[in-house]
Structure 1
Amino acid sequence: MTDDGGADGGDAGDAETVVRRDRFAGGPARGFMSSLAADERIFAADLAVDRAHTVMLAEQGIVGDDEAAEILSGLDAVEEAGHGALPDGEDVHEAIESAVVDRVGSVGGKMHTARSRNDEVAACIRYRYRADLLDAAEATLALREALLETAAEHADTVMPGFTHRQYAQPTTVGHFLSSYAGAIERDTARLLAAFDRTNVSPLGGAAFAGTTFDIDRERTAELLGFDGVVENATDAASARDFLVEGTAALANLTATLSGLSTDLIEHAKDGYFDPSDDYASTSSIMPQKVNPDTLELARAVAGDVSGGLTGLLTTLKGLPRAYNRDLQRATPHAWDAVDVAAEATEVVAGAVATGDWDADACAADAGAGFSTATGVADALAAAGVPFRTAHELVAEAAAASPADADPETLAANLDAAAGDVLGESLHGYVSREDLATALDPAGSVASRGSRGGPAPDAVADSLARMSGTYDDHETAVEARRDALAAAETDLTDAVERYA
């Protein structure tokens, strides 16, 4: 705005400044800064953190027992009223404190002694996120159970295997599914590791420089079910690397889900896999269609979670130490990622558990495109032919054979190629019986009994090992849940001593 000068111009400028200030006074900044609505997710977490902190303050003699009782009764009333009854505020933490003061008077303000919203927020996020990570880990267990059970059922079901979406080598449905069970097993392990690094308490770090009060950080950690404390007070208030680790684990999980979903979608198109009606839909115009819609949606979730990870990392990049308000925008990326990843995992587990495999359709295509060729080359190599020479021989036979060539045609073309490459009959190296076995998809699969291979016995051994790890991980999830439940009981008992 241009000021023309003089008294009139000055008066006009002052008036316009007042109008401008009135327009923005108490305006968009308040709503923009508030996270109160989104903080409903950590409402229960904040109440738990407030109770543990209040109990510790009383035990340390920082507040009186009667004062602690009043504060704790105020928190009970706030909990009973619910998140929706909180007064307006910048966040749930401020709103809960205000609500407690409204109920019990100024003594409620003592609840915030020896802490900051910085360590309080960090503690609430960790308290809730650790439970979300356990939910996600439990979802991976459900998927692994479906994969392992279906793989065991179809350990003998021969099917085509693919590389570059081209017929490659025969395998089995059991071997295919157990490959994903192994991948999801690692995803479970990552989530449990992320839980363990999340489950440490920042409470007591205060704003970033600790506190002058004689607090007991280990006690609040114990009451809240944390395994220990974040040692450095600045690190305690600042750190959000646990959100990165958890979201990265979820991004890896959803990438695995995306691959599994794509394979099942392709196998449904090929007629090998038939998803149940609960996990498919029909076309609005084409009545013959059965669309694997849930798997397509599960596949898309990988984009949501990887986008959340990128958003989280971008928000955290370059932040100076201690608390910055940017962190308020970081946490929702982690919430969204864990919610959608856990849901997608459960959906894919249901699709695997309830779908049907057509053994005849799988077997019919198991040898398509001369996919038993590698087995023939291996047989020649076992007879002393250098593998690269054997590879050349079989490649020549493949080039001379139509895509739908029968075993007799393939055998004849292999023998002709042996004459060209080796100067003698193929059967000087491989008997007719062994060649017939190598050309048969089931025989090819049965010959691949090395550890991790598709032979039924090898698959059974792999499934036994993976079932053992499944049991270990199931026990680990249950142990962590039990520890959190025990801490909740201990906190309730501690609160009741002041009631």
Structure 2
Amino acid sequence: MYRRELLGPGSVDKVSYMSSIVDDAEIFRYVIIALIAHVNELERGGIISGDVAGRIRDALRDVWRGGYDPGKLVGYEDVHEYIEAELIRRLGSIGGWIGIGRSRNDHVATAIRLRLRRALLDLMLITLRLREVALNKAVEVYDKVIIGSTHRQPAQVTTLGHYMLYLDDLSRDFLSELMHVYGLVNKSPLGSGPLAGTMVGIDRFREAVELGFDGVVDNTIYATGSRYFVISAASAIVNYLVEVGRFINNLEMWLMPQLNYVSADPSHLATSSIMPHKRNPATLEVFRARIGEAVGHLVAMYSILRPVESGYQLDLQELTRHMWSIVKIALEGLLIFMDFINGIKVNEDGVKESLGKYVVTAAEYAEAVAMRERRPFRDVYNEVARELRSGVKVGLDVNESLMKPVHGSSNPRQVIDDARARLNEVSELMTKVNLMVSKLDEVENKLLTT
């Protein structure tokens, strides 16, 4: 529709190659919402009459209710062209009013932000649920001993509850990042036009309020041409997934029969087609692989963005499919991971067997002797090392070694108290995020149904 007067009709194969019509399924709902807000602003500004505005709004809502089937939309460049063509088909020439005071550039940026802020809230909620599971597990196993490792070597005794607080610390930091990124995303580019604005007197602040944004992206070039908000969201999510992947490595190691520190719900396991004794941690393996895919998507996004000028180019439409892939990997994988964490149990016999093999309280013993005898630590350290070298097992009692006074340590009393306090924090945050979701529901439903 857009190209025919200047360039001619083109060819279906080339238009299809350039088209984002399949990827635009992710933003169809939000393109409709942005267009309705745009029509409302055109009416408020006296650009179109109330009758015309009402007819266009009704048609947009009908298009929304009719759904989106990319397979039937061959030949369209994108969802924006399809919707405008559909309005003109239904309403005649008055449907073309939708094109004034706007560009696909500011509208796609708006739709991506509307979609992405939803995704960020979904991630906040699932991360809060993961925190809840991890913290309840910490309360359950606050004193269940695990041998922690560094360099893949037995290092110190701690508890599974202590490791659950590690997972919670990570998830708490991720939530802070998500809140920050949400602030970057939740600003309106609507009304910015293609680059330098539009001759139509659009009140961008009024549009932003109607769409539930916290404000506007001030500079119109930045509003339409930058994807800093997208790459910020993607990198925050992938950073978290990579750290979760590291924790998966610990779980997989503890599940090895050679260690046998924990057991998992059998629904997460698979077996071999030829070795009937195998118990493979299949869900963890798949999630870890998909985390690798997410890293690949992020690298692709950087590669796409790097050579593009500070203005819109079609390269940017190729960027967003990677964003939605990262979101999907995170949402699906964290659900599986959360369920896995909920089902793990400590195998005390397996831990006890390793405690009989490995000296893992030597550091605590050396510190205790140095403090008790008021001797330089390095002297005691060397003395202990010589004894270990000669085959003498030197170490502190396991339970005594757990009782460290340092904040954040393996001390079981600290672990359970900290976990309980954090559960209250999670409950408060869950209420806050659900309120944010409810407000967006109200904003979007009003535009789609009123």
Q: What is the TM-score when the length of structure 1 is the normalising length?
A: 0.84
- The residue number in structure 2 matching 1:486 is 442
Opposite residue 193 of structure 2, the aligned amino acid is: A
Matched, 1:45 2:30: yes
3-state secondary structure, aligned to 2:184:
helix
Opposite residue 397 of structure 2, the aligned amino acid is: D
- The residue number in structure 2 matching 1:104 is 91
3-state secondary structure, aligned to 1:410:
coil
3-state secondary structure, aligned to 1:100:
helix
Among 216, 220, 228, the residue aligned to 2:207: 220
Shift in Å at residue 465 of structure 1? 4.1
Matched, 1:445 2:402: yes
Deviates more, 1:465-474 or 1:243-252: 465-474
Opposite residue 62 of structure 1, the aligned amino acid is: I
Instruction: Mark the runs of 5 or more structure 2 residues left unpaired by the alignment.
Output: 1-8
Opposite residue 343 of structure 1, the aligned amino acid is: E
- The residue number in structure 2 matching 1:10 is none
Distance in 2 of aligned mates of 1:145 and 1:364? 31
Shift in Å at residue 361 of structure 1? 2.0
What are the residue-to-residue correspondences of 1:59-78 with 2, within 5 Å?
A: 59-78=44-63
Among 141, 148, 160, the residue aligned to 1:161: 148
3-state secondary structure, aligned to 1:167:
strand
Conserved 8 A contact 1:234-1:322: yes
- The residue number in structure 1 matching 2:375 is 385
Conserved 8 A contact 1:275-1:354: yes
Among 285, 294, 302, the residue aligned to 2:283: 294
- The residue number in structure 2 matching 1:397 is 387
Among 43, 61, 69, the residue aligned to 1:58: 43
Opposite residue 11 of structure 2, the aligned amino acid is: G
Opposite residue 208 of structure 1, the aligned amino acid is: L
Instruction: Mark the runs of 5 or more structure 1 residues left unpaired by the alignment.
Output: 1-23, 402-408, 412-437
Shift in Å at residue 170 of structure 1? 0.8
Shift in Å at residue 363 of structure 1? 3.4
Distance in 2 of aligned mates of 1:305 and 1:68? 43
Conserved 8 A contact 1:87-1:95: no
Q: What is the TM-score when the length of structure 2 is the normalising length?
A: 0.93
Shift in Å at residue 95 of structure 1? 0.3
Larger CA Rg, structure 1 vs 2: 1
Opposite residue 288 of structure 2, the aligned amino acid is: R
Shift in Å at residue 332 of structure 1? 0.9
Distance in 2 of aligned mates of 1:229 and 1:367? 63
Distance in 2 of aligned mates of 1:466 and 1:95? 49
Distance in 2 of aligned mates of 1:366 and 1:161? 11
Distance in 2 of aligned mates of 1:479 and 1:368? 53
Opposite residue 390 of structure 2, the aligned amino acid is: A
Distance in 2 of aligned mates of 1:331 and 1:343? 18
Opposite residue 457 of structure 1, the aligned amino acid is: R
Deviations 1:251-279 (A, max 9, x none): 11111221121111111102111111221
3-state secondary structure, aligned to 2:312:
coil
Distance in 2 of aligned mates of 1:102 and 1:335? 31
What are the residue-to-residue correspondences of 1:253-268 with 2, within 5 Å?
A: 253-268=240-255
Deviates more, 1:475-484 or 1:171-180: 475-484
Opposite residue 291 of structure 1, the aligned amino acid is: N
Distance in 1 of aligned mates of 2:211 and 2:175? 24
* Structure 1 vs Structure 2 CA RMSD: 1.8
- The residue number in structure 2 matching 1:284 is 273
- The residue number in structure 2 matching 1:7 is none
Among 102, 119, 133, the residue aligned to 2:106: 119
Opposite residue 337 of structure 2, the aligned amino acid is: V
Q: Percent identity?
A: 33
3-state secondary structure, aligned to 2:149:
strand
What are the residue-to-residue correspondences of 1:159-238 with 2, within 5 Å?
A: 159-238=146-225
Distance in 1 of aligned mates of 2:205 and 2:10? 44
3-state secondary structure, aligned to 2:308:
coil
Conserved 8 A contact 1:157-1:362: no
- The residue number in structure 1 matching 2:234 is 247
